Amino acid sequence: MYVRVVVYPGGKKEVIVQTGDHRYEIRVKEPAERNLANSRVIEMIALAYSVNPKTVRIVSGHHTSRKILSLPDT
């Protein structure tokens, strides 16, 4: 399954908002440096879908705010 995400790094709060089927806007506290924001996004999506974070991977958008993540089919 693929999930589309728009990430806003460096925020004051961590918020995940579902904007559609498998579409989210995520605000994270971590900066967009050294893969910190990407790691936190993976953790938050894994928690939302109740899967292991090691099974979630970024398919597209490693260096942009718009990302496509791949999750295992459940």
**Domains (ranges, CATH) in the chain?**
2-70 (3.30.1200.10)
Q: How confident is the model at residue 74 (pLDDT cuts 50, 70, 90)?
A: low
Q: How confident is the model at residue 73 (pLDDT cuts 50, 70, 90)?
A: confident
pLDDT digits (tens, 9 = 90+) for 7-62: 999 999 999 999 999 999 999 999 999 999 999 999 999 999 999 999 999 999 99
Single out the residue of 48, 46, 62, 39 nearest to residue 16, CA to CA: 48
At 47 the three-state DSSP class reads helix
Whole-prediction pTM:
0.92
